A and B are shown apart, each in its own frame.
Chain A
């Protein structure tokens, strides 16, 4: 029931939002709905109800062998939690922004949350595919309607890219479906599918391409910086904070356990691609003059490390991925909130036009510095734990690859500190001369994020316990 509620609350509240007339009402209603979802997730994560409540199963297309079955495992709980935390924070952070047609904006946002929840919950592959697409369609409309100048072309590129990936995945799903012993889309049937080595290698790529585009992995990342830059920042927060986790999540739940031999066979190639992407994106990030584009490239680098850690097939690496999926979501949303605060107030995102903001907005400066330090994974911040574990896993896999990937830590420090320096220190520019500190709503949301950053940095144990069952079950498949 809990699982069902997680889908139904955002779905119905989203549909209702479309018919709300006043702007204030739409905002408060969607904030209320997202907080309600968060409360339900808390109930699910802390097992306030008996465990039978955390899954739901109903007949759907019995002729095809597809059921409406959803359930929560450790990783699912963790990502639902991230999803549920992200939306109230985003709604709170943009509470003072004025969007034209607010009812549609907030309605589409909640529908996107429905799609994301569904992806993290479904234990039926066809249902998973449905939600996978359902998350994409609202994102398309959100970016194309409320985005920047070049929004239409850029979002279209994003849509076509991901749609090609999803269609290939659909072929892969059907391909595996016909090899399952009982012709069903259920997760367990997929795990038991009888595939020869050749078939496994073929179907692996059909799935992997879809997930690699979503993450994104070099060289399929070209849609990402443009889309992040052109989308309204509220949507970018969700795209980079939660939606890219779809790719990682799907790789752990639907790719590696279904095709363990192929995953092992291609792991070296994929890790090299990921590490190349990390260095490549980090180097480009250094050269950026735009906050949003810099964060976008930095995000590619972080995701590359997570993908490499998944395929390193080491326990520590996998645990690191779990923690880092959550932490990266929190950190990147924090960075976007800062970018949004600067852009709405000063009208520019360019480093070259900013400077000396620390004197004008001290609260923003302090909060950003914490978020930035988390971005470069300094000890005591949450990202340190995750990155340390992932590098540990990568090191056990191959020392040289780990060493090369380690360069990206240095590069991350270069571009992140460079950003702080250019925005907050030095002389004030024309744009920042009359700058004021951030508003109350943004401040509260950033403080909440900073608290999460520090708490999880000091005491990551609960998060590791939460996801331990998934790590163990995936690793068993990997080393069969």
Chain B
């Protein structure tokens, strides 16, 4: 509860700062301090120190899983603001508003990690999405940014519509919005799954697939991620996407799972996974712009996160959290370096190892983590995803398809490494301050640490 209320409150606070504070440079410092407080408050909440005791009538359910995800999301946002805060300021004139919107997104994220009712799911998705539409269009003079914002808004509105219809239909089929109630009280069709419920769940599945950009509902992703200012793409592709997965996995674990006697949901997920891995990986291979490559790679990574829907066992829950952390941290790092580059095409990275050895080395660690090489956090993220499916004993073929696509992903991630290390060039970067350098080095060290001891994160689930 702490995180939901405080993030909304900090959003309002930042709004007040926008006209009370003359010095815009101090805004990001205020934002990072607020994020730190938010993180501490959330960890306190995990151990039972709740500041706000509100009876939500079962609309929200707080558990370790959701709390840990909150910590990961807030922590990643903290790292994100520390590394790219300066670039956020440079995006436009309404600096404070950007931070406001980020806090509101976090409010939606924390709601999604604890929803226990289809209405709160809807609320969370909307609170999370609407600020993002604005952030996407924040570069007002740029036509691409405007186009992306409009596209994102239209597609988002469409998927929201589907979600509402889905919620209405399942309500018609079960007579409740509640997540848990269906299990305990047989629905009006006396425990049988009705046609309405199944149809509603299908609608919900499609709308969630939209949000996490699973193929074939991914078409908005490359354009939006490419058009939005790079700093905000970083935020959208990591924390927001991971939150979508947390909501998705919960929906599947409860609602879809109950009707698994009627519909073979796992087969539907398997088709989604193969399509997503195929589209994301194969298209990423052909990209010349690193930013657009990362957009497709985020689709490909989503394919891996979808593995958790098939297994839905303890390893899957641990795995999705680890994946969220590993993927978010690595992608934030890559984008932090990307926004410092003058030329974000693949050629723009040529020879970076010579001019900026620290940036090249850390970027390499981030890319190795995304491709899932051992000793990086990304390896254990993939490991858990594969292990969770293998533990179920079925869908072994899917795991093999998955690792083959993981090998494809090496191709495009390593092209960046090749450009940085083995090609000659004179890449232009913005001024790199020593504090930024130490920031990315610390982030890379964290990723390697998690790659050796993934329990550093997972122990929070149990202790």
* A interface residues, Cβ below 8 angstroms from B: 61, 63, 129-130, 133-134, 137, 141, 144-145, 151-152, 156, 159-160, 163-164, 167-168, 170-171, 174-175, 177-178, 202
- What distance in Å separates the Cβ of B314 from its nearest Cβ neighbour in chain A? 10
**Chain B contact residue count (CB 8 A cutoff):** 28
Q: How far is the CA of A43 from the CA of B203 in the complex (A)?
A: 68
Closest to B391 in A: A178
Q: How far is the CA of A163 from the CA of B423 in the complex (A)?
A: 23
* A residues in contact with B455, CB < 8 Å: 61, 63
Interface residues of B in 395-423 (CB under 8 A from A): 396, 399-400, 403-404, 406-407, 410-411, 414, 418, 421-423
A129→B374 contact, CB < 8 A: yes
- What distance in Å separates the Cβ of B245 from its nearest Cβ neighbour in chain A? 22
What would 11 more interface pairs be, CB under 8 Å, given A167-B404, A171-B396, A174-B387? A133-B374, A137-B368, A144-B421, A152-B418, A152-B423, A156-B414, A163-B410, A167-B406, A168-B400, A171-B390, A175-B390
B414→A170 contact, CB < 8 A: no
B422→A160 contact, CB < 8 A: no
* B residues in contact with A152, CB < 8 Å: 418, 422-423
A178→B374 contact, CB < 8 A: no
Closest to A203 in B: B396
A144→B422 contact, CB < 8 A: yes
Q: Give me 7 A-to-B residue pairs in the complex whose CB atoms sit less than 8 angstroms apart, sorted by A's number.
A: A130-B374, A137-B368, A156-B418, A167-B406, A171-B386, A178-B390, A178-B391
- What distance in Å separates the Cβ of A132 from its nearest Cβ neighbour in chain B? 8
B375→A167 contact, CB < 8 A: no
A164→B404 contact, CB < 8 A: yes
Does more than half of chain B's interface fall in helix, strand or loop, or is it mixed?
helix
B403→A171 contact, CB < 8 A: yes
Q: How far is the CA of A130 from the CA of B453 in the complex (A)?
A: 13
Q: How far is the CA of A167 from the CA of B405 in the complex (A)?
A: 10
Whether A167 touches B374, Cβ cut-off 8 Å, given contacts A63-B455, A145-B422, A178-B390, is: no
* B residues in contact with A144, CB < 8 Å: 418, 421-422
* A residues in contact with B156, CB < 8 Å: none
- What distance in Å separates the Cβ of B413 from its nearest Cβ neighbour in chain A? 11
- List the 6 shortest-distance A-B pairs measured between CB atoms, nearest first: A167-B403, A133-B374, A164-B407, A130-B374, A174-B390, A144-B422
Interface residues of B in 435-463 (CB under 8 A from A): 453-455, 458
Q: How far is the CA of A202 from the CA of B390 in the complex (A)?
A: 14
* A residues in contact with B396, CB < 8 Å: 171, 175, 202
Closest to B315 in A: A64
B458→A141 contact, CB < 8 A: no
B418→A137 contact, CB < 8 A: no
Whether B383 is near chain A, meaning CB under 8 Å from some CB there, is: yes
Q: How far is the CA of A280 from the CA of B403 in the complex (A)?
A: 31
B454→A61 contact, CB < 8 A: yes
Q: How far is the CA of A168 from the CA of B455 in the complex (A)?
A: 25
Whether B179 is near chain A, meaning CB under 8 Å from some CB there, is: no
Whether B373 is near chain A, meaning CB under 8 Å from some CB there, is: yes
- What distance in Å separates the Cβ of B357 from its nearest Cβ neighbour in chain A? 10
Closest to A161 in B: B407
* B residues in contact with A171, CB < 8 Å: 386, 390, 396, 399-400, 403
B418→A160 contact, CB < 8 A: no
Q: How far is the CA of A145 from the CA of B423 in the complex (A)?
A: 9
Q: How far is the CA of A248 from the CA of B386 in the complex (A)?
A: 27
